[in-house]
Amino acid sequence: MVTLKGIRGKNIHMPVPCVLAVGKFESIHLGHRALINEMVRLAKGAGLASAVVVFKPHPSRVLYDSAYKLLLTDCERAHLVAGLGVDYLLEYPFDESFAAISPFQFCRMLYEDLQGRYIIVGEGYRFGHKRAGTADTLRQTAMTYGAQVYEVAPVGVTDKTSTSVIRGLLSENKLAEAEHLLGYSFFIMGEVTPGQRLGRTIGFPTLNIYPSDEKFLLTDGVYASRTLLDGREYMGITNIGLRPTVSGVDAPRSVETHLLDYTCVGGEELYGKHIRTHFLRFIRPEQRFDSIDALKSQIHKDCNSIMGNEEA
């Protein structure tokens, strides 16, 4: 299995010639995956390394909206990219000065610093100051370096396959429709962190993640979920929100998952473990209950709903 190597910095120099895929790659949706798969195929055929080029912060956070939430954290994106068999993930710091570089400077970076022998971009890709650079710009510069440029039009991907459309679907809890465009169910990765330890006292111990402020989250509520823990998948029930029944007004937003078929001895043995939770179906909005007993009763109903036994 290929081990993804990450390189970050303003002056990245690739140690070997490679095939480069360049783009924002915010969600690694089906269009992105088709482009990256083509890069990996070409790299293997040419006996070269494969490398995905990305930027951080996301350009939208720098140029348009500093509060822009990302569908994938760095760790989550690296997980998906690694799963596609990529050798390198190259991350450039993005700021206004980087946004102002000329298309020629950008091309020189790809061909000289990164040793790009083949460049793979999506249809309509633009780059450089005022987005003046195009695939034709890349091709014209490539002639100087004996490189080639491929503009990929993914087969079977519709106009709806865009990160902005997917964000809208997720915001409306249309999880199945979003999954159809992503090629995977939306998920969060994180470290299990101690919470209030209330869940175990009422029979529903939870694995708690406190996500980064930059992470896009689904609307507050309860979801059917699937969690990967120690190499095994468990069905579960996940709450996103502020836990209004048991937390104060200043409580941080959390993602809490109760595994339906996992026996937890005490809970402490799971602290510090890294998990991945996929969201499968919206069940209900988060709400405040009058008592812990009322909360416990509702959680029972939620669990039964997930197990296909709503009347139990």
Instruction: Indicate if the pLDDT at residue 43 is higher than 60.
Output: yes
Mean local confidence (pLDDT), 109-136: 95
pLDDT at 305: 83
pLDDT at 287: 81
Pick from 282, 238, 279, 291: nearest CA to 260:
238
For 3, which DSSP code? P
Pick from 178, 156, 158: nearest CA to 168:
178
Q: For 294, how many CA atoms within 13 A lie in the half-sphere containing its CB?
A: 8
Instruction: Indicate if the pLDDT at residue 283 is higher than 90.
Output: yes
Instruction: Indicate if the pLDDT at residue 312 is higher than 50.
Output: no
Q: How far is CA 157 from the centre of its chain?
A: 19
* Average pLDDT of the residues of the chain: 89
Mapped onto helix, strand or coil, the DSSP state of residue 17 is coil
pLDDT at 209: 94
pLDDT at 265: 46
Q: What percent of the chain has pLDDT over 70?
A: 88
For residue 237, give both structure tokens: 């029930």
pLDDT at 242: 83
Question: 235 phi and psi, to 5 degrees?
Answer: -70, 150
pLDDT at 307: 77
Instruction: Indicate if the pLDDT at residue 310 is higher than 60.
Output: no
How far is residue 224's CA from residue 248's CA, in Å, rounded to a whole number? 25
Instruction: Indicate if the pLDDT at residue 243 is higher than 90.
Output: no
pLDDT at 263: 67
Q: How many other C-beta atoms lie within 10 A of the C-beta of residue 109?
A: 17
Pick from 62, 33, 122, 50: nearest CA to 90:
50
Least confident of 54-68, 258-272, 293-307: 258-272
pLDDT at 311: 41
**Which residue type occupies 230?**
D
pLDDT tens-digit profile of 259-275?
988 765 445 578 899 99
pLDDT at 289: 75
Mean local confidence (pLDDT), 223-238: 94
Query: Of 299 and 90, which is predicted with more confidence?
Result: 90
**CATH fold of the domain at 185-306:** Elongation Factor Tu (Ef-tu); domain 3 (2.40.30)
Rounded-to-5 percentages of helix, strand, coil across the chain:
30, 25, 40
pLDDT tens-digit profile of 166-200?
999 999 999 999 999 999 999 999 999 886 655 55
Superfamily of domain 5-152: HUPs (3.40.50.620)
pLDDT tens-digit profile of 133-150?
999 999 999 999 999 999
Per-range mean pLDDT, top range of 73-82, 157-166, 194-203, 280-289: 73-82
Mean local confidence (pLDDT), 147-173: 85
CB burial of residue 86 (10 Å; 0-12, 13-18, 19+): buried
Instruction: Indicate if the pLDDT at residue 62 is higher than 80.
Output: yes
Considering the entire predicted model, what is its pTM? 0.90
Instruction: Indicate if the pLDDT at residue 249 is higher than 60.
Output: no
Q: What percent of the chain has pLDDT over 90?
A: 69
pLDDT at 158: 62
Domain boundaries, the chain: 5-152, 185-306
CB burial of residue 166 (10 Å; 0-12, 13-18, 19+): buried
Instruction: Indicate if the pLDDT at residue 129 is higher than 80.
Output: yes
